[in-house]
Amino acid sequence: MPTLFLLLAAMLIAASGIQADTPAPRPWNIVLIVADDLGAHDLGVTGSRLHETPNLDRLAAGGMQFTQAYSACTVCSPSRAAILTGKYPARLKITDWIKGHDYPQAKLRPPAHWTQHLPLEEVTLAEHFKGAGYATCHLGKWHLGGEGFEPERQGFDINLGGDHRGQPPSYFAPFGIPGLPDHIAGEYLVDREGEEAEKFIGAHGDKPFFLNYWSYSVHTPLQAPAAAVARYREKAAKLGSAQTNATYAAMLERLDASVGRILDTLESRGLSDHTLVVFTSDNGGLVLGGPPPTSNAPLRSGKGSEYEGGHRVPLIVHWPGVTRPGTSSAVPVMGIDLLPTLLEVAGLPQPGGAAKPDGVSLVPLLRDPSARLDRPLCWHYPHYHPGGATPYAVIRDGDWKYIQHYENGRNELYNLASDPSESQDLNGTQPAKATELARKLFAWHGAVGAEWPMPNPDWKPTPIAIQTDGSMLLHSHDAFVHSEVLRYEPQPFKNTLGWWVKASDWAEWIFDLPKAGRYELSFLQGCGSGGGSEIAFTVGQQQLTTTVMETGGFQNFTNRIAGHLDLPAGRQSLSLKVLRKQGAAVMDVRQLVLKPE
């Protein structure tokens, strides 16, 4: 019987024309190109009238554009970590560019232990591909940690130019970048990147490869060949477009040329039909300086911002035989989606456990431009940025975008379908939608373990102004918080001092009284199970003590009368401290009111 079975099987194989020793299909090569600080509308194919990007335009013409693609953060290091791991920056605790800006006089400090390198425990794209037999190369900017956290420690066989820095010392040789020794005096860095990419493909084209090309361009310092700068200066003067920076345009031209060099090399070596190429950016275009490098119009603001100009990026995917030439998708997608997408393209398993990504595979969209993908996207930036942004969180759900400002509790709500420029704040007219999105954002914070910005003990608060009726409203977002854990939690359904789990934490309000008098002090407090903590309100030598009531929930607020104070005119400091802590948390307190009698 076994002999008869083998004979029948051989006959069937012969009849079908299948060779018994037919090799398995070769896995897809992957080329991932990430520009630095490139805005969503900086390419010719995305609407720029000044910039010339013929090679990226042809990449888009042969593949798919995502017209509402987002970076995972408004600055570089967190976005790059998210691309490599598929995880939200908030989950990775990498929430600002490494090492970040310092604002010692700001109201808030960043989380005390935010991570300033990509942990070696994280499983990167390179490690997935290397484990599957791919040759792996990182080329260009890294900015995910210095010594001990280099690309070679994160799955890359070859590292050409990646180290701790976020920008090159110079775009002209000598570069001063480890891994890219100087060849020719005055050589342009981006041209050199293209040369190195071509060499890698030529040396490793006989086996599957992953080329992670993260160009230093178009990050500052703005430097480009003089002839190209002069040509774009002349062109800009004639156009009168929103984008006017000739040096930036020339830098982008050279980046486009390096992309063209990669595409031509793939073609000449017969690899184009089996190589997936992705092009994107790490955050929105920079709009600071004079003249600013670029304009993201009609999107609002730019790099560092909570608005669309800070997060929207180009995303082009060329997957031969799969993506239909010249197609586009308006589905909102994010950098966290690249890892699961590229792994599925390569036929590799999706990671689970601690390595499970937050992103989802975009393969269904790449196969069918009409496909949908319904899930919210979130951002958490507990830092200050030179562009003016204060710590914030954002959620986009469908057409709606909700912004939550950590510093003062201010919220914004926009409908991006009708208002892509975010010019009409609907927070006041759509309170139900604002609350719905705030609750989703709060749940996401918990799911990813987001770390909040904390009060700055060196902050000097501006005295609170007296109300028109003579009363003094001491709101939770105006408190000067002395704490390890206690913090202001933004509105609409929080809007309170919360996380009061340490008895040593306390809050202070500073205000000016125009005249002396007797004042009634009331406070709005909430408490779930575990009421009974004793608290004290103190102004100068006067102190009022009371016991926290259970209200059935920390956001179920009830108004309490603490007592009366005789206050002199002038500058006052009112403190709220714990005398005895009873339960797991003391209480939430939304506001205090001093009412003249």
Tens-digit pLDDT profile for residues 294-321: 999 999 999 999 999 999 999 999 999 9
What single-letter amino acid sits at 170? S
Q: Which residues are designated catalytic?
A: 76, 143
**β strands within 118-265, DSSP E:** 135-140, 158-160, 209-214
C-alpha distances out from residue 293 to 229, 283, 307, 547, Å:
13, 14, 18, 58
Query: Spelled out in words, what is the top-level CATH class assigned to the domain 29-98+115-348?
Result: alpha beta
The partner residues of 347 in beta bridges, in order of sequence, read none
Residue 514: pLDDT over 90: no
Task: Quick: pLDDT tens for 65-97.
Answer: 999 999 999 999 999 999 999 999 999 999 999
Residue 10: pLDDT over 50: no
Q: Bigger pLDDT: 21 or 412?
A: 412
In the predicted model, what is the mean pLDDT of the chain? 94
How far is the C-alpha of 136 from the C-alpha of 159, rounded, in Å?
Answer: 9
pLDDT at 17: 44
Residue 529: pLDDT over 90: no
> 457-596 in CATH: which number?
2.60.120.260
Residue 241: pLDDT over 80: yes
240 confidence band (pLDDT: 50, 70, 90): confident
SS3 assignment, position 497: strand
C-alpha distances out from residue 8 to 1, 19, 242, 512, Å:
11, 15, 72, 97
Residue ranges per structural domain of the chain = 29-98+115-348, 379-448, 457-596
SS3 assignment, position 577: strand
pLDDT at 23: 56
pLDDT at 18: 44
Alpha carbons within 13 A on the beta-carbon side of 283: 24
Q: Which residues contact 131 (CB under 8 A, 6 or more apart)?
A: none
How far is the C-alpha of 406 from the C-alpha of 426, rounded, in Å?
Answer: 19
Considering the chain, what percentage of its residues have pLDDT values greater than 90? 88
pLDDT at 15: 44
Entry pTM: 0.91
How far is the C-alpha of 8 from the C-alpha of 17, rounded, in Å?
Answer: 14
9 confidence band (pLDDT: 50, 70, 90): very low
pLDDT at 422: 98
Cβ 286 vs Cβ 220: under 8 Å: yes
Residue 4: pLDDT over 90: no
Q: Which residues contact 175 (CB under 8 A, 6 or more apart)?
A: 161, 168, 169, 182, 189, 192
pLDDT at 222: 98
Fold of the domain built from segment(s) 379-448:
Arylsulfatase, C-terminal domain (3.30.1120)
pLDDT at 372: 94
260 confidence band (pLDDT: 50, 70, 90): very high
Task: Quick: pLDDT tens for 26-78.
Answer: 789 999 999 999 999 999 999 999 999 999 999 999 999 999 999 999 999 99
What single-letter amino acid sits at 352? G
Q: Which residues contact 268 (CB under 8 A, 6 or more apart)?
A: none
C-alpha distances out from residue 566 to 521, 537, 542, Å:
11, 13, 8
Helix (H) / strand (E) containing 228: helix 226-239
pLDDT at 488: 93
Considering the chain, what percentage of its residues have pLDDT values greater than 70? 96
Q: What is the mean pLDDT of residues 415-429?
A: 97
